[in-house]
Chains A and B, each alone.
Chain A
Amino acid sequence: MYSGGTGHQMRLDPGAKITNKERWGDYYLLTLESTDIAREAAPGQFLMVKVASGSRPLLRRPFSIHNRCNGRLDIFFKVAGEGTALLAERKAGEALDILGPLGKGFDLELGGKGRKRTEAPALAVGGGRGVAPLLFLAAEARKAGRPFKILYGGRTAADLPLKDKLEAGGFQTACSTDDGSLGFKGMVTDLLRKEIHDAPASAVYACGPEPMLEAVDRIASESGLPAELSLEARMGCGFGACWGCVHRIRQGGVAGWVKICAEGPVFSGGEVVWEEEK
């Protein structure tokens, strides 16, 4: 068993069938049938997906696990480059070659140990496509009886395509847009400040662009709340062999280049060294 992960067994599934595909503008959701990987998956973990056969692109692409249901896994992404554009062309009924579940996910008990189930909710901040791992996290939190709220932010209403799905699923959700076209007007980090100010919270989870994560880290720290942040990176292998995806991380008082794929992608607030601190 590989020691760098969570203890969950990672596998190769060369034939994960696409059973459903949804699209909202540049945003896509694919449902993949992969029973063994689905069984082992935990919130915050990711898949490495071969988006096309052959050598262009050569490398797999990492995607957070968006949801798990009956042996199936969802991935949610925005077309942002060559890899995601090719993946968006794949059709229901085709098979994808995937590796997973990879990496170390969120701690479901963060800031919640020993608390009563009715106590203050955990807040999960998702910026744009960064909302991807938060539905799975929210679903597992609900199973554990933990109050949970998703703060879902984007530039405009068109960047919040999952709003209806989250609400229909019964997940408590608050939205923000930079232009005010939907929900709170402002950045999702401003919404986080407001939420923490208005009502008690027990923990903060976040996934999104790095400046957002840095702001969330600061806000959580100032509010005395424990935080976990899911980092994004260009990855080579996704399972710790190539040392290609690193971030400055402070562990045991020492800062160094730490592999995001194997020791993350989720890191504790305060552990991550941000750009200007280096």
Chain B
Amino acid sequence: MIDSGAVDLSADLGFLKLKNPVLAASGTFGYGLEFEPFLDPGRLGGFVVKGLYFDPRPGNPPPRLAETPSGLINAVGLQGVGVAAFCEKTLPRLRGFKTAVIVNVCGADTEEYVRVVEYLDEHEGIAAYELNVSCPNVKTGGGCPALSPGATREVVSAVKRRSRRPIITKLSPNVTDVAAIAAAAEEAGTDAISLVNTFLAMAVDVETRRPKVANVYGGLSGPAIRPIALRMVHQAVSRVKVPVIGLGGIQTASDALEFLIAGARAVEVGTAGLVDPRAASDIIDGLEAYCRRHGLRRLGDICGTLKT
């Protein structure tokens, strides 16, 4: 069925209404300005800027990247400029974009997450915070809060108490029961959940017998992880009531639709944008074409309609 009428692509997260459900994922979209030559950021439902610690962070030595079949291992080590430089130099330029700017928040301990959020709270032009609970924690020997319901609950509730803005908690897939972590974040008051972050991975150069990334382990992203990410998103959606944002290897509108049908209210596009900087924009076009093909007036109506 062909329909030439207007299609409503908007995505309602409750605390935030997006013009469409496609966000650019943190860590693959720089601080929001790097894609400008190729893509109008205002086209997107929103974008999540690269994770920010309070202070500048040097990151890991190279090599930081290794390519695997349909995948990319990265061990960038959350190199970043810190909150002061971001708020002074970058944020004023992001305010001009007619889209939701979400800031990914990092911390080496609970206090740092809170300090980052309190600093950012003093500045305008941010729609929400995405809490990166996959940061290595200095007090637990490098384990990250995302690995246990208790630690996730602690960070989320501490940040939620202090933040004047909505919180999206971004979960790690490197756990036994992701739904239990999602439930802990919900109990602690998170406004939404996004998943998945990258899968802990490794690759070896057999000629030199060295790991392909200097950090030995890195995070796997790209289409290789998509079916596992989709399964975990479905598990989280089945457990919590807060909105879920799905991500992991999405390259096309069809990929995005899998996550929406499985119950995600919005999606994030990451690695695909590094290869094709217009990927997110093409996905938005593809979602609209799908709605027309299926006679859907509102894309949002498709969320969670998986027939099982």
- Look across to chain B and name the residue whose beta carbon is closest to the beta carbon of A248: B61
Per the 8 Å Cβ criterion, residues 49-75 of B in contact with A are 50, 58-59, 61-65, 67, 69-72, 74
The answer to the question of A12 belonging to the interface, with a C-beta cut-off of 8 Å to chain B, is yes
Report A1-33 CB contacts with B as 1/0, cut-off 8 Å.
111100001111000000000000000000000
Per the 8 Å Cβ criterion, residues 227-264 of A in contact with B are 233-237, 239-247, 256-257, 262
User: Is the pair A56, B64 in contact by a Cβ cutoff of 8 Å?
Assistant: no
The answer to the question of B35 belonging to the interface, with a C-beta cut-off of 8 Å to chain A, is yes
User: Is the pair B62, A240 in contact by a Cβ cutoff of 8 Å?
Assistant: no
Which of A9, A12, A60, A240 meets B278, CB within 8 Å?
A: A12
CB distance from B294 to the nearest CB of A (A): 26
User: Is the pair A3, B33 in contact by a Cβ cutoff of 8 Å?
Assistant: yes
The answer to the question of A166 belonging to the interface, with a C-beta cut-off of 8 Å to chain B, is no
- Look across to chain B and name the residue whose beta carbon is closest to the beta carbon of A4: B34
**In the complex, A276 Cα to B65 Cα: how many Å?**
22
**In the complex, A24 Cα to B50 Cα: how many Å?**
44
User: Is the pair B58, A241 in contact by a Cβ cutoff of 8 Å?
Assistant: no
Task: Classify the interface of chain B: helix, strand, loop or mixed.
Answer: loop
User: Is the pair B28, A59 in contact by a Cβ cutoff of 8 Å?
Assistant: no
User: Which residues of chain B are near A129, meaning CB under 8 Å?
Assistant: none
Interface centre among A11, A233, A237, A239 (most CB of B within 10 A): A237
Interface centre among B33, B37, B61, B71 (most CB of A within 10 A): B37
Q: Chain B contact residues (Cβ within 8 angstroms of A): what range?
A: 35 or more
The answer to the question of B134 belonging to the interface, with a C-beta cut-off of 8 Å to chain A, is no
User: Is the pair A241, B28 in contact by a Cβ cutoff of 8 Å?
Assistant: yes
Given known contacts A9-B37, A55-B222, A239 and B277 CB-to-CB distance under 8 angstroms: yes
**In the complex, A1 Cα to B34 Cα: how many Å?**
9
**In the complex, A253 Cα to B88 Cα: how many Å?**
23
User: Which residues of chain A are near B74, meaning CB under 8 Å?
Assistant: 236, 242, 244
The answer to the question of A266 belonging to the interface, with a C-beta cut-off of 8 Å to chain B, is no
Task: Classify the interface of chain A: helix, strand, loop or mixed.
Answer: loop
Which of A60, A234, A262 meets B65, CB within 8 Å?
A: A234
User: Is the pair A11, B72 in contact by a Cβ cutoff of 8 Å?
Assistant: no
User: Which residues of chain A are near B34, meaning CB under 8 Å?
Assistant: 2, 4, 237, 239-241, 262
The answer to the question of B125 belonging to the interface, with a C-beta cut-off of 8 Å to chain A, is no
- Look across to chain A and name the residue whose beta carbon is closest to the beta carbon of B39: A12
User: Is the pair B29, A58 in contact by a Cβ cutoff of 8 Å?
Assistant: no
**In the complex, A257 Cα to B27 Cα: how many Å?**
16
- Look across to chain B and name the residue whose beta carbon is closest to the beta carbon of A2: B37
**In the complex, A245 Cα to B59 Cα: how many Å?**
12
Which of A58, A244, A257 meets B275, CB within 8 Å?
A: A58
User: Is the pair A247, B278 in contact by a Cβ cutoff of 8 Å?
Assistant: no
User: Which residues of chain B are near A93, meaning CB under 8 Å?
Assistant: none
**In the complex, A245 Cα to B79 Cα: how many Å?**
12
CB distance from B52 to the nearest CB of A (A): 13
User: Is the pair A56, B59 in contact by a Cβ cutoff of 8 Å?
Assistant: no
User: Is the pair A245, B275 in contact by a Cβ cutoff of 8 Å?
Assistant: no
The answer to the question of A57 belonging to the interface, with a C-beta cut-off of 8 Å to chain B, is yes
**In the complex, A53 Cα to B56 Cα: how many Å?**
38
User: Is the pair A241, B273 in contact by a Cβ cutoff of 8 Å?
Assistant: yes
The answer to the question of B82 belonging to the interface, with a C-beta cut-off of 8 Å to chain A, is no
Interface centre among A1, A99, A242 (most CB of B within 10 A): A242
- Look across to chain B and name the residue whose beta carbon is closest to the beta carbon of A238: B274
- Would you mind naming 8 contact pairs between A and B with Cβ atoms under 8 Å apart? A1-B36, A2-B37, A59-B275, A97-B276, A234-B63, A241-B30, A241-B273, A243-B59
Q: Which 3 A-B pairs have the closest CB atoms?
A: A237-B274, A244-B65, A55-B70
Tell me the B residues contacting A by CB distance below 8 Å: 27-30, 33-38, 50, 58-59, 61-65, 67, 69-72, 74, 76, 79, 222-223, 251, 271, 273-278
Tell me the A residues contacting B by CB distance below 8 Å: 1-4, 9-12, 50, 55-60, 97, 99, 233-237, 239-247, 256-257, 262
Extra pairs beyond A242-B74, A242-B76, A246-B79 (18, CB < 8 Å): A1-B37, A10-B38, A12-B277, A12-B278, A55-B222, A55-B251, A56-B69, A58-B70, A58-B71, A58-B271, A237-B277, A239-B277, A240-B34, A241-B273, A243-B64, A245-B62, A245-B64, A262-B34
